[in-house]
Chain A
Amino acid sequence: MRAKDIALDGLFRQNPTLKLVLGTCPTLALTTLAMNGIGMGLAVTFVLTCSNVIISLLRNVIPQKVRIPAYILIIATFVTIIRMLLNKFLPDISASLGTYLPLIVVNCIILGRAEAFASKNPVGAACLDGIFMGLGFMAALTLMGAFREILGSGSVFGVKLWDFSIGFFTQPAGALFTYAMFIAVYSMIYSAVVARKKKSADTSEDRSEKGVTADV
C-alpha cells in the first residue's frame, strides 16, 4: 500500500513537473523534441534513484548543518557518472541535452526529494520515490515534448507526420505557453479525480455506517 502511494505520488499526485513545478529550466528548454524528454527523464531518474538511496543510507550520519553540501557532493558524483556514460555510449543524446545534463546537479527535483523524502525515510522507500519521481518527470517532459514536436515540427520522436508546422511551438514563448496549458489540463484532471474520490469515500462511509461494508 505504501509502495503504491509512493508510485502514485511520483507519477501523478505529486508530479514534479506539473504539481510541484520543480526543474522548470530543463522542462522549458528541452521539450522541443519528445526524444529529449526520454533522455533527460532517464538521466534524472538514474541520478535521483542513486542519490536518494545513498542519502537515505547516510541520513543518520550526515550532520544537519552541512547536509546541503553533502547532498550536492553525492548528487554531483552520480551526475558525473551519467555524463561520462552518455558521452561514451550515447553521444547523440548527450549532445542534444547539452548543458542541461551537467546542470542536473542543481536540478531542484533531486535536491528537493533528498531534503523532503530521502533524508527522512528508509532505503526502500527512498529508492522507490527516486524511481517514480524520475518517471513522473520523464512522462511530463515526454508528453510536452511530443506536443511541441507535433505542432512545432510536424513530427514525433523524429518521425515525420506531415509538412505543416507552427513555428511558435518550437520557440521559448511556445515553451511557456505549452507548460501553462499542461499545468491547466493537469489541474483539471487532478481536481476531477479528487472530487470523484471524495464522492466515493463519502458513499463508502455511508455504506459502512449502514453496515453494508465493514472493511474500512
Chain B
Amino acid sequence: MERLIISNTPHVRGNASTRRIMIDVLIALSPAAVAGVVFFGWRAALVMAIALLSSVGTEVLYRLFVKKEDIKRITATYDFTSTVTGLLLGLNLGSQSPWYAPLLGGIFAVGVVKMLFGGTGKNFVNPAIAGRVFLMMSFGTAVSGGWLAPSIGAIAPSESAVPSLVDLLIGTGIAGSIGETSKLCLLAGGAYLVIRGVIDWKYPTIYILVAGLTLSLYKLDFSIFLPSILSGGLMLGAIFMATDYVTTPNTMLGNIVYFAVLGVLTGLFRGITGGESVSYCILLMNITVPLIDRFIAPKPFGYVKPEKKAKAAKEGNNG
C-alpha cells in the first residue's frame, strides 16, 4: 500500500525506513537484554522470549485472520515494531513473572493498543508501556515489585539501604525488572541510537535531568539527585519508550515541553507516592501529544508571522 505522507515542504528524502530504525532499536536493546539474563538467570530469558513470541504472533495472526493478508505479504512488509514492543515488554517485567503474564501482555500491547487502532504508526500510546500497565493492574506484585534479587553480587536489602552509585550504574546487586537495572547497558544502547540518528540526545536528557531535579527540589535534598536518576525504570523509559516516534510531538519545541512535563510529573509522582511511576507518567503524557501538537504546530517553510509583516510594512511606510 502506498503511504501518503502529509508534512510541510521541503520534503527531505532519506534512507530511513521503519524496519531499519526498529532493527537499530533492537540492537540498542540487546546489551540490556543480555545483562538481564546474566543478572537474573534463565527465567529472564524465558520471560523475554514469551513476550517476543506473543507480540510478534499477535501481529501475524491479526494480519492473517482479520486483515486477511497472506503470509508472503506479511513477511515482506513486517516492520519489526512488534518485535521491539515484545522485547521492551519483556525487559519491563520482573523475572519472577508467571508464564501467562508476558503472553497476555503481548496480546494486549500489540493486539489492542496497536493493531485495533490501525497498526504501525497508529497506536495512541506506547504499546509496551500499555502492556506493562495492563499487567501491573492485573497481577500487581507478581510482575512488578517484590522483585527477585539478581544472582550476581546479590545483597540483602537490610545490609545496605542505599546501594552505591557504581552498583546502580552497572546493576550489580540491584533488584528490578529484567532490563532496567543495568544503566550502563541502557546508556550504551542510547548512545548507539543517538549515533545512528534514531533518537535525539536532547530529549531523554531533558526528561532524566528534569525528573531528578524535580524530585530533589520536592525533597529539598540534592544528594538524592544522582541515585534517583540511576534507579528504577527512568533510563529505560526515557531512552527507549518515551522517545517512541508515534507518541511524541512533531516539533522540537513540542518535544521539549513534552519531555520537561514528563520529567516534572515523574519527579513529583516519585516524591509523593514513594514508588516508581515512570510507566504511568509516559502513558499519561502519550495521551496529551495531540493536544501539544494542536497548540505547537510546525511552522511552514519560509513562514513569516502576520504581525511582523504588518509591522514591517508599517515601518516601511513610516520610513
Say yes or no: is A166 at the interface (Cβ < 8 Å to chain B).
yes
User: In the complex, what distance in Å separates the CA atom of A174 from the CA atom of B104?
Assistant: 14
Contact of A167 among B100, B112, B139 (CB under 8 A): B139
Say yes or no: is A173 at the interface (Cβ < 8 Å to chain B).
yes
Among B128-151, those with CB < 8 Å from A are 134, 137-140
Say yes or no: is A171 at the interface (Cβ < 8 Å to chain B).
yes
Interface of chain A, main secondary structure: helix
**Which B residues are CB-close (under 8 A) to A171?**
137
Instruction: Give the interface size bracket for A toward B.
Output: under 10
Among A148-174, those with CB < 8 Å from B are 164, 166-169, 171, 173-174
Among A163-209, those with CB < 8 Å from B are 164, 166-169, 171, 173-174, 177
The answer to whether B140 touches A167 (Cβ under 8 A) is yes
**Which A residues are CB-close (under 8 A) to B112?**
177
Among B202-246, those with CB < 8 Å from A are none
**Which B residues are CB-close (under 8 A) to A173?**
137
Q: Which residue of A lies closest to B104 (CB)?
A: A166
**Which B residues are CB-close (under 8 A) to A174?**
137
User: In the complex, what distance in Å separates the CA atom of A1 from the CA atom of B112?
Assistant: 42
User: In the complex, what distance in Å separates the CA atom of A169 from the CA atom of B112?
Assistant: 14
Q: Which residue of B lies closest to A184 (CB)?
A: B116
**Which A residues are CB-close (under 8 A) to B137?**
167-168, 171, 173-174
- CB<8 Å pairs between A and B, sample of 16: A164-B100, A166-B104, A166-B138, A166-B139, A167-B137, A167-B138, A167-B139, A167-B140, A168-B134, A168-B137, A168-B138, A169-B138, A171-B137, A173-B137, A174-B137, A177-B112
Which 6 residue pairs are nearest across A and B when measured between Cβ atoms? A168-B138, A167-B138, A166-B138, A168-B137, A168-B134, A167-B137
Given contacts A171-B137, A173-B137, 4 further A-B contacts (CB under 8 A): A166-B104, A166-B139, A167-B137, A167-B139
